[in-house]
Copies of this chain bind each other. A is one copy, B any other.
Amino acid sequence: MSKTNPGNFFEDFQVGQVIEHATPRTVTDGDRAAYGSIYPTRFAVPSSAVFAASVGLERHPVEELIGFHIAFGKTVPDVSLNAVANLGYAECRFHQPVVPGDTLSTKSEVIGLKQNSNGKSGVVYVRSTATNQRGEVAIEWARWVMVHKRDQDAAAPEAVVPELAKAVDAEDLIVPKGLNFSAYDFTAAGEPHRLADYEVGEKIDHVDGVTLTDSEHQQATRLWQNTAKVHFNSEVRPDGRNLVYGGHIISLARALSFNGLANAQLIAAINGGAHTAPAHAGDTVYAWSEVLDRVEDVAPGVGALRLRLVATKGRDESMTLRGDDGKYAPGVLLDLDYWALIPA
């Protein structure tokens, strides 16, 4: 019997099944530095322990996406090693900041299955939960993935498609314990804009672009212990070019969004997301945001902004999400919908 992990195929999943994912991982300040060397991030809370303390946080958190990528990476060997495509995310909430010294473990429950009509693959829905060394929930999210069948003749399971919220309700957002933006230092944070300065429907061109290199996206993806071959092994790629991990584009776009959204300090939830086109080394990635909603008073001095974050290959000053045909405009790489906490 082979000792290597073949990953799960569609028929290996059952609704209700719980998978404990391997290799818990301890987060350190080394991850903070590595992240900062790969993404042009400057948000004041993860950048400065002094700033974090000044807004009521007892310990100095790392970027939320560090926790997310690590927690997500754990699920890859069990959930998506044989994936055709990562179809979507929903209901992702950050329950508490991740700080150096935290050890994250992830488990997933299969909450839905639906075989495709072609009989070759199916969609697997999982709800994943990352807990820390105290057994407390750090992050939870749902995602659905199209997975190959091992045996096309295997019987289709009963279709179960979970109802997933289009967006996390503002009332369900979790604010880190102690967070208080009442004495927020806008000068130190880098921009003067507060919640009330953003209008629903407003679009922000984040202006800056970053040209991707192979070693940077691979270093990031490895840091998260994400083992998907397509990112690392150019020999298995039809075009000989490594595919950039979708999460790399999320982190890059989030970092670029500092320029215009410097006070959108913390990610509280991810409502949904689609990786709409592949990215490769040599592509120059830009980002723009659209304000989708805004909510006051989620904590002292703290409001929440619901934002669409769009990454594009090449700059699109028109900030066009979709063409007249309803399809994503050429160049759109990522369409992410999330809630950020910002001074009210």
Contact = CB atoms under 8 A, between A and B. Distances in A.
A4 B204 contact: yes
B214 A213 contact: yes
A24 B50 CA distance: 8
A91 to B, nearest CB: 25
Contacts of A44: 22-24
A158 interface: no
Interface in A199-254: 204-211, 213-216, 218-220, 222-223, 225, 227, 229, 232-236, 242
A48 B23 contact: yes
Contacts of A49: 26, 101, 103, 133
A33 B31 contact: yes
Contacts of A205: 2, 4
A114 interface: no
Interface centre among A51, A209, A214, A219 (most CB of B within 10 A): A219
Nearest to A190: B22
Interface stretch (A34-42, A120-128, A138-146, A299-307): A34-42
Contacts of A39: 222
Contact of A36 (B2, B214, B222): B222
Contact of A40 (B40, B43, B191, B222): B222
B47 A25 contact: yes
Interface in A112-136: 133
A233 B220 contact: no
A259 interface: yes
A209 B193 contact: no
B211 A235 contact: yes
Given A227-B40, A284-B233, A3 B48 contact: no
A80 B104 CA distance: 41
A56 interface: no
Given A22-B188, A204-B3, A232 B220 contact: no
A38 B219 contact: yes
- The 10 A-B pairs at the shortest CB distance, nearest first, are namely A30-B33, A22-B190, A28-B29, A24-B48, A37-B219, A30-B30, A3-B260, A213-B215, A209-B233, A26-B49
Interface of A: 2-5, 20, 22-26, 28-34, 36-44, 47-51, 60, 77, 100-101, 103, 105, 133, 187-191, 193, 197, 204-211, 213-216, 218-220, 222-223, 225, 227, 229, 232-236, 242, 259-262, 284, 314-315
